[in-house]
């Protein structure tokens, strides 16, 4: 089973290996260190094997904490690491006084949607997810686009 803890800046290289895209990692870790988001890492076999973030404001479902960016290393999937990450993130949401958590999942990602339903999330409707890739130094938008997702919620 994985240990879950808060991210720190020493995790950046491991997260780049896991997620690809150093700028994206720098923006996510930066938001967590600044306190506007929370970010957790899952450790197994002495390395970072999984991650997940919580955005407290400006997520996909206005006003609700948004759990996003979940990824578990290929080869470590299907062992409960993702489930453990969601449990820790949901506990953090409760500590913040939230009574509902939200996430969204690509329409094509039926395996992840099944997992979220098993975790207690229900589809509230279709969502057009507008994503932005930020330059970590300037904070300016480096790229952006849309993807079709399902918005999902869970009462905590
Ligand atoms: C989705 C993900 C974070 C779940 O983490 P995990 O550690 O595999 O999750 P768990 O072991 O707790 O649960 C496994 C469940 O996830 C489902 N799952 C979703 N995507 C999966 C994948 N790519 N590989 C294996 N299982 C996957 C399995 O169907 C399984 O459900 P089941 O028990 O009903 O068969 C992980 O599989 C992953 O990184 N997938 C690729 C990236 C992704 O889809 N991220 C989510 C974006 S919304």
Instruction: Quick: pLDDT tens for 91-142.
Output: 999 999 999 999 999 999 999 999 999 999 999 999 999 888 889 889 899 9
Rounded distance between C-alpha atoms, residue 150 and residue 129, angstroms: 9
**72-91 average pLDDT score:** 97
For a mutational test of ligand 1's pocket, the pick from 115, 119, 131, i.e. the residue with the most ligand atoms closer than 8 A to its C-beta, is 115
The reply to whether ligand 1 has any atom less than 6 angstroms from the CB of 114 is yes
pLDDT for the residue 112: 96
CA-proximal residue: ligand 1, atom 31 (nearest)? 115
| Domain at 12, CATH number | 3.40.630.30
Closest atom of ligand 1 to 77 CA is 8
Q: What is the model's pLDDT at position 132?
A: 87
**Predicted pLDDT of residue 20:** 93
**Residue 42 Cβ contacting ligand 1 at under 6 Å:** no
Domain range for 103 is: 3-155
How many domains in the chain? Answer: 1
148 backbone dihedrals φ, ψ, rounded to 5°: -90, 125
Residues whose CB falls within 8 Å of the CB of residue 71, separated by 6 or more in sequence, listed in order: 18, 19, 50, 51, 52
Atom of ligand 1 nearest to the CA of 86: 12
């Amino acid at each position: 089973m994985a240990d879950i803890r808060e991210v720190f800046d020493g995790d950046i290289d491991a997260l780049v290996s896991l997620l690809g895209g150093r700028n994206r990692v720098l923006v996510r870790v930066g938001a967590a260190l600044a306190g506007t988001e929370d970010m957790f890492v899952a450790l197994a076999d002495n390395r970072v094997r999984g991650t997940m973030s919580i955005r407290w404001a400006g997520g996909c479902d206005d006003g609700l904490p948004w759990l996003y960016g979940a990824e578990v290393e290929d080869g470590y999937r299907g062992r409960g690491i993702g489930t453990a990450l969601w449990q820790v993130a949901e506990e953090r949401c409760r500590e913040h006084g939230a009574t509902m958590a939200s996430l969204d999942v690509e329409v094509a990602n039926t395996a992840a949607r099944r997992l979220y339903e098993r975790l207690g999330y229900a589809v509230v409707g279709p969502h057009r997810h507008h994503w932005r890739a930020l330059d970590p130094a300037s904070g300016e938008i480096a790229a952006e686009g849309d993807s079709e997702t399902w918005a999902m919620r869970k009462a905590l």
